[in-house]
Chains A and B, each alone.
Chain A
């Protein structure tokens, strides 16, 4: 079975631009979470979606938004990019919300110049 997939792998954007990151969960997993990992730190929770509904939101500005599709894949959108948005964006899938192990994708490395 394929693991969690994310696209693109790397991305370079300019300040003020918009970006869309994509994630496909493991087959059968209905919950997708997004995390931001700045170099040298642990991942920070951004969003969790389950059955197409937002189930949790971290301490991130409204420039960050996400959605989940009927096939359980997900998109993370970031508007008006700032230099500080440069990070590794990780998608994780799990069977459902709750205390289940999460399977992380390889991430999208976003660089904002």
Chain B
């Protein structure tokens, strides 16, 4: 079945530094969603990307969908302590079943 690989698994940054997590698939994706899960919390929807080469921004967060629709990235500019958590990419098929990547856990040192 479809799978998505997410790297890195962990990232420790100093507050103010940038952060990027990557999501890669061997097959073409119809769309990709990004979720954030705070420690002890539940996944919270961030965004969905559908179009080839799509770039969306949410304040300091920039989401990209690759031209071939096989990869995606989430970039955070000037991290803050509130950015701490695990970021998941997830494939969403026609049935709505989400296939999650392994996640990237971000730690931010103040």
Contacts and interface: CB of A to CB of B under 8 A. Distances in A.
A43 B100 contact: yes
A74 interface: no
A106 B40 CA distance: 9
Interface in B49-100: 50, 88, 90, 92-100
Given A106-B42, A107-B42, A45 B97 contact: yes
Interface of chain B, helix or strand or loop or mixed? loop
Given A42-B100, A42-B102, A42-B103, A102 B45 contact: yes
B94 A98 contact: yes
Interface residues of B, number: 25
B33 interface: yes
Contacts, number: 68
A4 to B, nearest CB: 9
Contact of B98 (A43, A96, A106): A43
Interface of A: 31, 33, 35, 41-45, 48, 55-56, 58, 90, 92, 94, 96-107
B105 to A, nearest CB: 9
22 contacts: A33-B97, A41-B103, A42-B102, A42-B103, A43-B88, A43-B100, A45-B98, A56-B96, A90-B42, A92-B98, A96-B96, A97-B95, A98-B92, A98-B94, A98-B96, A99-B50, A99-B96, A100-B92, A101-B33, A103-B45, A105-B42, A106-B41
Given A56-B95, A98-B95, 16 more contacts: A35-B98, A42-B88, A43-B100, A45-B97, A58-B97, A92-B98, A94-B96, A96-B96, A99-B30, A99-B31, A101-B33, A101-B45, A102-B45, A102-B96, A106-B41, A107-B42
Given A101-B45, A101-B48, A102-B45, A42 B101 contact: yes
B43 interface: yes
Contacts of A106: 41-42
A100 B96 contact: yes
A104 B95 contact: no
Nearest first, the 8 A-B pairs at minimum CB distance are A42-B100, A97-B96, A101-B45, A104-B42, A56-B95, A99-B92, A56-B97, A104-B43
